[in-house]
Structure 1
Amino acid sequence: MKKLILVRHGKSSWEEDLPDDERPLKKRAYKDAALVLNAFSGFHRKPLKLWSSYATRALTTAKIFKERLEVDDADFSIKDELYTFDSKTLLKIIKSCDDQVDTLMVFGHNPAITGVVNQLGDQHFSNVPTTGLTMIEFDAEKWKDIQNGKTLLHLFPKNLR
């Protein structure tokens, strides 16, 4: 069994004139992360491998989750390829995960996150919102074989307020 947890980065700020990958989180993103993490804590099981895009908004969101879920540094990776908006590319990266890993949490960007959630899970979402978390389980032993998963959980901040 494989479990994939996809998290869209927190709400980012457009206040400063920065390159897209350097945009920081808004204050609301920290509150949203706390809401999602409080709801997720009952579903969290170790071990957990955590991968993040290098973009500031995704990496900051990932670090909030890493700290709260007490993920070891050895289980935390920044992957340049996760700075993608393309679901096909995102899925290819996920399928490259080492088969020794049973649970993978990925922090990335839309529309790739929503696209992969809808392609792999059995529930459809028009949009996974910022700081939205979706967990999908697969009856597969290898990441390259994941498909037709069961959406076990979706936590969206607006539903938790």
Structure 2
Amino acid sequence: MSQQVVLIRHAKSSWRHDVADHLRPLKLRGYQAAEIMAQRHILRDAMPDIILSSPAVRAYTTASSLIAELQLESGLLVVEPSLYPGDAKALLALIKQRRESRIWLVGHNPAMHELAELLAGEAIEAFPTLAVATFEISQDSHRLIAFDYPKNTEL
């Protein structure tokens, strides 16, 4: 069985609030980045069967913003505790347990960056906020299809 997996790092969050890490909200710039990325083909060409999000406010809000911008069904969003803070190998095992064909994971660095490199089989220079990496995964291979982020000007 082949799967399309989209790794999404949460949008830019705010440090201005005196709250626990998992409660940090998005900055205005984070919402603006969600609008930008929702217009890009990397997400429009990879509509999900399920969206697994970290329970952290900044990740869940990122996922919710993308759902609203792309006019997806809110029922696609499922909170996945293992995405906070996350571990690349554990997230890969999570993906392999899922039966959906098109999965979005919305989480945090360093786990998203490490998982992207693990799946790509090579170093990825950076995985900035709201970076999106799309992979084709089969039983014995992983292939990076696309990589994009809000400040990418090479479109």
Q: Give how far 1:9 is off.
A: 0.2
For the residues of structure 1 that align with 2:123 and 2:145, how far apart are their CA atoms? 13
For the residues of structure 2 that align with 1:72 and 1:105, how far apart are their CA atoms? 14
* RMSD, aligned CA: 1.9
Q: Give how far 1:153 is off.
A: 0.9
Give CA deviations for 1:93-119 in whole Å, capped at 9, x if unaligned.
Answer: 22221x2x1000010000000001010
Moved over 3 A (4+): none
Q: Give how far 1:90 is off.
A: 2.0
Give CA deviations for 1:105-155 in whole Å, capped at 9, x if unaligned.
Answer: 0100000000010101255312211011110012x2xxxx3x532111111
Cα distance change on mapping 1:11 and 1:160 into 2, 3 Å: same
For the residues of structure 2 that align with 1:16 and 1:160, how far apart are their CA atoms? 31
AA aligned opposite 1:149: H
AA aligned opposite 2:130: T
Q: What percent identity do the matched residue pairs reach?
A: 30
Residue 151 of structure 1 corresponds to which residue in structure 2? 144
Kindly report which structure 2 residues correspond to 1:1-161, keeping only aligned pairs within 5 A, or say none. 1-40=2-41, 42-45=44-47, 48-97=49-98, 99=99, 101-122=100-121, 124-138=123-137, 140=138, 145=139, 148-160=141-153
Quick check: 1:121–1:148 contact (8 Å CA) kept in 2?
Answer: no
Quick check: 1:8–1:128 contact (8 Å CA) kept in 2?
Answer: yes
Unmatched 5+ stretches in structure 2:
none
Give CA deviations for 1:4-30 in whole Å, capped at 9, x if unaligned.
Answer: 000000111100111000000011111
Give the number of aligned pairs.
Answer: 152
Quick check: 1:114–1:126 contact (8 Å CA) kept in 2?
Answer: no
Question: For structure 1, which segment, 68-77 or 5-14, has the greater mean C-alpha deviation from structure 2 after superposition?
Answer: 68-77
Q: Normalising by the residue count of structure 2, what TM-score does the alignment of the two structures yield? A: 0.88
For the residues of structure 2 that align with 1:65 and 1:129, how far apart are their CA atoms? 17
For the residues of structure 2 that align with 1:34 and 1:104, how far apart are their CA atoms? 20
For the residues of structure 2 that align with 1:56 and 1:81, how far apart are their CA atoms? 14
Unmatched 5+ stretches in structure 1:
none
Q: Give how far 1:36 is off.
A: 1.1
